[in-house]
Structure 1
Amino acid sequence: MAPGSQISPDQCHDDDDLDADHLREECGVFGIFGHPDAAAITALGLHALQHRGQEAAGIVSFDGQRFHSERRLGLVGDAFSKASTIERLPGRAAIGHTRYSTTGETILRNVQPLFAELGTGGFAVCHNGNLSNGLTLRRQLIGEGAIFQATSDTEVILHLVARSRRNRFVDRFTDALSQVEGAYAFVGMTNKKMVGARDPLGIRPLVLGDLDGCPILTSETCALDIIGARFVREIANGEVVIVGPEGIESLRPFPALRPRPCLFEYVYFSRPDSVLGGHNVYEVRKKIGATLAIESPVQADVVVPVPDSGVPAAIGFSQQSGIPYELGIIRNHYVGRTFIQPSQTGRELGVRMKHSANKAVVAGRRIVMVDDSIVRGTTSRKIVAMMREAGAAEIHFRIACPPIKFADYYGIDMPSQDKLIAARMSVQEIADYLGVDSLAFLSIDGLYRALGQPGRNNAMPQFTDHYFTGEYPTPISDHLGEASKQISLLAEAG
């Protein structure tokens, strides 16, 4: 998703938000072609992808004559639960998007899918990811007279397609893609066809499904399951697919590269019941936890997950270590950010409103807390304090990924490097800050082993892992100064 503006993530998202200490889930895309209930099916698919973005949702349909658009701020269920809304989206083709902005304001004009009338006809498009040269391209286009209506980098694609001198739409689309850098999974729709594209390294996910002969393009397999569709295959890295009445055409317009999917899809972003790269995400997370138990064992009485993202890894840790698994922290799923008051009391009570200690499990016991990651460390510190107050005899913290030390430019809403606790502190310093008896992170090789690899191939990494290593897999033109500074810091650390 998103740059295209100079607003930083820290301007857009309050540090006191309950989720500010966790990574944001990017965005989700869904499209179906040829189904009489295309909009309703798309709404259901977006429901399954709600975990990927909770700020806004939109659907564009085509009825054979006209495009219809409904875009709303808020959750999918709030936007598309009424039959009257779906009735305003007629047609046998539709695409949809659920949004979490990595930068830029959460306003209606930024809600996708975006639509424009081009010389070749109408074109609607949405995407998951981030164009790391989106701001550079935007400035160039504005300098050439382009008029932008939104601050999303998705709009850059509309302009590039419109300005291409190729004749066929698919050639104009691939011409546009050839000019962008970064990570993306695009789903678009013209008055004749549906198109999809995945970035040359396959950083962001995109899969092909089928419902009663109607092709589907979507971010995760869980969106296929909710509508009873069949998983066909993953869209390959660098592949462009064109779906029309005559069938599905696959193009490989770019030089072949080895795929490098994003590791955080396995660690955090994808829904546990999705299948990604041939791996069930839930099983991978359990293996991550088991590997963590092998690498960083501890004498304890109970394994306690930090809900909800830490649950699968905690189960794996428990099974491998033989330490009983218990719900020592209970999460309240009905607390929204608008419920928190901007007062000091509200900030202090914020974590308690979302997480409560289960004293019967915690009191007098040595506990192993397992979480998927630590970003700023602020929420983790408050949860640790809550466990102390509940009577935990010892607290050992285990993190199911390596320390996050570097910024992301591919669609993850990650704080600037100076706010990443692992970029500023050693493991022992983090442990002291959190107030735990011990702290350990999964190693980078351990994470790779959990995914069936012998370890990280440093010469040819199998996954995108720059947030741990500082090695960015693509050019990042909009952020060259920041990246070079981070890479130099990595060299000094080595």
Structure 2
Amino acid sequence: MCGIVGVIARTPVNQLIYDALLLLQHRGQDAAGIVTMQGTKCFMHKARGMVRDVFRTRNMRGLPGNVGLGQVRYPTAGNAYSEEEAQPFYVNAPFGIVLVHNGNLTNAPVLKAELFEIDRRHINTESDTEVLINILAHELEKAARNLPLTPAEIFRAVGAVHRRLKGSYAVVALIAGHGLLAFRDPHGIRPLSMGAGPDGEVMLASESVAIEGSGFKVQRDIAPGEAVFIDEQGTVHTHQCAATPTLHPCIFEFVYLARPDSVMDGISVYQARLNLGETLAQRLISTMPPSDVDVVIPIPESSRPSAMQLAHKIGKPYREGFVKNRYVGRTFIMPGQAVRKKSVRQKLNAIGVEFKGRNVLLVDDSIVRGTTSKEIVQMAREAGANKVYMASAAPPVRFPNVYGIDMPTKEELIAHGRSIEEIRQFIGADALIYQDVDAMKRVIGALNPKISSFEASCFDGHYITGDVSAGDFAAMEAQRKLQFDEEDENNRSRLALQSASEDRT
């Protein structure tokens, strides 16, 4: 899960892209990057860190041009600590292409070998985005060989890209001297929306909130398999480039990833979470007497709509029992379990008066690894709660995700191979209530009848691209171990530097 944006306008776009990335910061906090284009020359700045820290006035001044794109990164493939793997990525042939990508390619190792052995292209990082941009470059070169680069050739190249790639991908790219290209995978797993500005500007972004918050009007979602090309004159060309496109948006976007004020594939994220709260209330009523609950308390932020609706449904007061430190990143998307665990108490503080002597029902959007839930249950007890019940607006996360969410190995998932009772004991709650998988799909899907099914593999184990094997999971687990080893090395290095600094003082 990353946040991407692209803009083509008649005036400089650097500030527009910066502001849009701030609105997408929740989708990635590891790194940020912007590239702009003036004529056929690209100007780029990217680095690890939050948007506000990566870009200073001097950096913004170095990003001229009326067309550009940007990304906030949340690493699910490659090296979380490498600045080289921050996006955008650039290749100089053909034409000069710059690209940002949200998603995860499931056949990246095969493609990497093909690029080297057949396409004669070298890949220098572990990022699947570098694989993707080289595939696109190769197919554009083939499609436009001895021909002018017209929208028809671009769409032919995107069609070839669709035939080669597997997995999830929402892409925005700049083609030097030609314009802005965007496309979405044939299953529509990762989101991508398009909007228009008052003076004919066009913006593409991962979420509608980035478009609306930038003063643009949301027009529509990019369809699965569709490509959109905006030429330098601002003319929009569109074409369906996939042979058999089907819409299977990632259901975890509605559960947790997206901002509640976004609309994705015709579904209000806020309304989806209200609906989840209603079905969760029904689940609770069938599990335990609502009279056992004195107060309903959400775990900020994503669970608030579900918690409010649940409290209303069971007739119990809704209270804010935790204060969130907004200057600590989203725990779920922090790289590394050690950093994630340490951040929980820095991120949340309990309001004792809401807990003391009460039976509290804590509502979270989901329970992934269980470590955060365990810490929060303990915080509630320390604040004086009589009993602590936990409810998850999402079903148990039992399977790895391969489409761009940081759930790559089953060993990290608290629900994999454990019963609800075993999970309850691990997190230390007096009762644990989970959402039902079918109910989740039904109440979110009801908001847009055109969606026949969702990508919900982390809940149901069904991988819609049909190319995921046990060997893929083994490879992901090996890569994860290397990432953790690198994280430990980085932590040791930081501690050594801190110790040396303290010794000098």
Q: Aligning the two structures, in what range does the TM-score lie when normalised by the shorter sequence?
A: 0.7 to 0.9
**Sequence identity (%):** 36
Give how far 1:463 is off: 0.6
Structure 1 gaps of 5+ residues are 1-25, 485-494
Give how far 1:163 is off: 2.8
So what's the TM-score if we normalise by structure 1? 0.86
Rounded Cα–Cα distance in structure 1 between residues aligned with 2:267 and 2:387? 35
CA contact (8 A) 2:267 2:447 kept: no
Tell me which residue corresponds to 1:53. 28
Aligned pair in 2 of structure 1 residues 396, 336: CA closer, same or farther (>3 Å)? closer
CA contact (8 A) 1:200 1:254 kept: yes
Tell me which residue corresponds to 1:214. 201
What is the aligned counterpart of 1:166 among 143, 146, 149? 143
Give how far 1:224 is off: 1.0
Tell me which residue corresponds to 1:359. 352
Tell me which residue corresponds to 1:8. none
Letter of the 1:283 partner, please give it: Q
Aligned pair in 2 of structure 1 residues 357, 161: CA closer, same or farther (>3 Å)? closer
The 5 A counterparts of 1:449-464 are 449-453=442-446, 462-464=453-455
Give how far 1:233 is off: 0.5
Tell me which residue corresponds to 2:367. 374
Aligned pair in 2 of structure 1 residues 251, 400: CA closer, same or farther (>3 Å)? same
Give how far 1:277 is off: 2.0
Tell me which residue corresponds to 1:467. 458
Alignment RMSD: 2.8
Rounded Cα–Cα distance in structure 2 between residues aligned with 1:174 and 1:435? 51
Rounded Cα–Cα distance in structure 2 between residues aligned with 1:347 and 1:44? 27
Letter of the 2:466 partner, please give it: P
The 5 A counterparts of 1:246-395 are 247-297=235-285, 298-299=290-291, 300-335=293-328, 350-395=343-388
Letter of the 1:199 partner, please give it: D
Letter of the 1:292 partner, please give it: L
Higher mean C-alpha displacement, 252-261 vs 317-326: 252-261
CA contact (8 A) 1:60 1:95 kept: yes
What is the aligned counterpart of 1:99 among 73, 82, 90? 73
Rounded Cα–Cα distance in structure 2 between residues aligned with 1:79 and 1:435? 40
CA contact (8 A) 1:193 1:243 kept: yes
Give how far 1:348 is off: 8.4
Letter of the 2:257 partner, please give it: F
Rounded Cα–Cα distance in structure 2 between residues aligned with 1:412 and 1:468? 13
**Comparing both chains, which one has the higher relative contact order based on Cα–Cα distances under 8 Å and sequence gaps of 6 or more?**
1
3-state SS in 2 of match to 1:368? strand
Give how far 1:326 is off: 0.7
Rounded Cα–Cα distance in structure 2 between residues aligned with 1:365 and 1:109? 51
Tell me which residue corresponds to 2:191. 205
CA contact (8 A) 2:247 2:452 kept: no
Letter of the 1:271 partner, please give it: R
Tell me which residue corresponds to 1:29. 4
Aligned pair in 2 of structure 1 residues 337, 403: CA closer, same or farther (>3 Å)? closer
Letter of the 2:93 partner, please give it: L
Tell me which residue corresponds to 1:123. 97
Rounded Cα–Cα distance in structure 1 between residues aligned with 2:166 and 2:340? 39
What is the aligned counterpart of 1:148 among 123, 127, 134? 123
Tell me which residue corresponds to 1:442. 435
The 5 A counterparts of 1:169-248 are 170=154, 171-190=156-175, 191-212=177-198, 213-244=200-231, 245=233, 247-248=235-236
Aligned pair in 2 of structure 1 residues 477, 325: CA closer, same or farther (>3 Å)? closer
3-state SS in 1 of match to 2:165? coil
What is the aligned counterpart of 1:432 among 425, 429, 434? 425
1:27-72 C-alpha deviation (Å, 9 max, x unpaired)? 0110011231211111111110000000111111111131111112
Higher mean C-alpha displacement, 291-300 vs 210-219: 291-300
Give how far 1:478 is off: 7.4
1:135 matches 2:109: yes
Aligned pair in 2 of structure 1 residues 375, 479: CA closer, same or farther (>3 Å)? same
Rounded Cα–Cα distance in structure 2 between residues aligned with 1:455 and 1:118? 42
1:423-461 C-alpha deviation (Å, 9 max, x unpaired)? 12101111122221211111012212321439999xx96
Letter of the 2:386 partner, please give it: A
CA contact (8 A) 1:301 1:324 kept: yes
CA contact (8 A) 2:409 2:473 kept: no
CA contact (8 A) 2:32 2:46 kept: yes
Letter of the 2:226 partner, please give it: E
Tell me which residue corresponds to 2:482. none
CA contact (8 A) 1:289 1:315 kept: yes
Higher helix share: 2
1:110 matches 2:85: yes
Rounded Cα–Cα distance in structure 1 between residues aligned with 2:218 and 2:52? 24
Tell me which residue corresponds to 1:23. none
Give how far 1:91 is off: 0.8
Higher mean C-alpha displacement, 373-382 vs 171-180: 171-180
